[in-house]
Amino acid sequence: MQCVEVRGLWLDDDQKGQGHGEHIMHVLEEEALSRGALSVLLDTYDFQARAFYERLGYVCFAEFVYPSGVKRFYMSKMLTT
Reported as a single tens digit per residue, the pLDDT across 15-59 is 888 989 999 999 999 999 999 999 999 999 999 999 999 999 999
Its pTM stands at 0.91
Tell me which amino acid residue 8 is.
G
Q: Supply the pLDDT for residue 16.
A: 86
Query: What's the pLDDT band for 13 if we cut at 50, 70, 90?
Result: confident
Total domains, the chain: 1
Q: Supply the pLDDT for residue 74.
A: 98
Contacts for 29 with CB less than 8 Å, ≥ 6 apart: 40, 77, 79
- In terms of residue numbers, what domain contains 59? 3-78
Look up the CATH number of the domain holding residue 29.
3.40.630.30
Residue 1 has pLDDT above 80, yes or no: no
Residue 78 has pLDDT above 90, yes or no: yes
Backbone angles phi, psi at 36, to 5 degrees: 90, 10
